[in-house]
Amino acid sequence: SQQGEEDPQALSIQEGENATMNCSYKTSINNLQWYRQNSGRGLVHLILIRSNEREKHSGRLRVTLDTSKKSSSLLITASRAADTASYFCATDSRDDKIIFGKGTRLHILP
């Protein structure tokens, strides 16, 4: 069963704009992670936020976590063509395995 669920399923924005993707999950977590997958490639780890953290930054990425609402958001600022990819959230529960959502397909328009 899916734990995390991303929203929206697909998103198209103009280059230079900010992109926001959301993730909701069902049960308590140790941490939440975001991954990027370019077409035909494996997943690349972007950022991990622990359950006791509320916000984390990495370059143009900003992740927030609201454990009371069981939700997270990924913000990509000043988007570039190279950001076109699918983005997945993944939640890490107590049994040392992570469960992925179905992903958000992001398309950056020139």
Partner 1 sequence: NAGVTQTPKFQVLKTGQSMTLQCAQDMNHNSMYWYRQDPGMGLRLIYYSASEGTTDKGEVPNGYNVSRLNKREFSLRLESAAPSQTSVYFCASSYGQGEGGYTFGSGTRLTVV
Name the minimum Å distance from CB 27 to partner 1. 14
Beta-bridged to residue 49, according to DSSP, are: 32
Name the minimum Å distance from CB 47 to partner 1. 8
Q: How do the residues of the chain divide into helix, strand and coil, expressed in percent and rounded to 5?
A: 5, 55, 40
CA distances from 31 to 22, 47, 71, 84 (A): 15, 10, 12, 25
Beta-bridged to residue 109, according to DSSP, are: 14
x/- mask, partner 1, residues 41-80, rule CB under 8 A, reads: xxxxxx-x-x------------------------------
# binding residues, partner 1 (CB under 8 A): 26
* Interface ranges with partner 1 (CB under 8 A): 1-2, 30-31, 33, 35, 40-46, 48, 50, 88, 90, 92, 96-103
